Amino acid sequence: MVDQSVFDKYLKERFEPEVKWYDTKSMHNQKWAKIYQVAIIILSVTTPVFAASEFKWLTLISSVALSIAVGVLKYCKFEELWQSYRTTCETLKKEKILFDSKISPYDKCDDPMKMFITRVESMISKENTSWCQLIAKKEKKEDKG
């Protein structure tokens, strides 16, 4: 059986910081994903306009900026990380609600605190594994390029 003081310490020192970290990282990646996506849209629209104008150098600058924005967005994987971190954050929050409300699987469990810790650590581990796979996939593409 997990002692209440140990559980409270786990919540304060592990669970809550993890939820905050995933929330913060999700918002950070969302912000950058949207910035780059809007930049790509704007550059995609303005490049042909510049090409039709007498300022050909603007076409070159816009085309280069568009290529850079697309490359950075793809390389940094802001959208994928945003979705992954948000999913993990919301899953952790949901788990706490299930625990607090004594809803299945906690309603008929002999040691709900132990189950909570085990389930939360499993979720965190799963997200870490997904992140490692995402990074490995990115590095594999770099090696081929």
| Domain residue ranges in the chain | 4-144
Measured CA distances, 129 to 10, 71, 102, 114, 132 (Å):
22, 25, 29, 22, 5
Tell whether pTM > 0.85.
no
Q: Distance between CA atoms of 66 and 41, rounded to whole angstroms?
A: 9
Residue 105: asked if its preceding bond is cis (omega within 30°), the reply is: yes
Which one, of 86, 87, 100, 91, lies nearest residue 119 by Cα? Answer: 91
Please give the structure tokens belonging to residue 21: 């970290």
pLDDT in tens, the chain (145 residues): 889 999 999 999 999 999 999 999 999 999 999 999 999 999 999 999 999 999 899 999 999 999 999 999 999 999 999 999 999 999 999 999 999 999 999 999 999 999 999 999 999 998 877 777 766 766 666 666 6
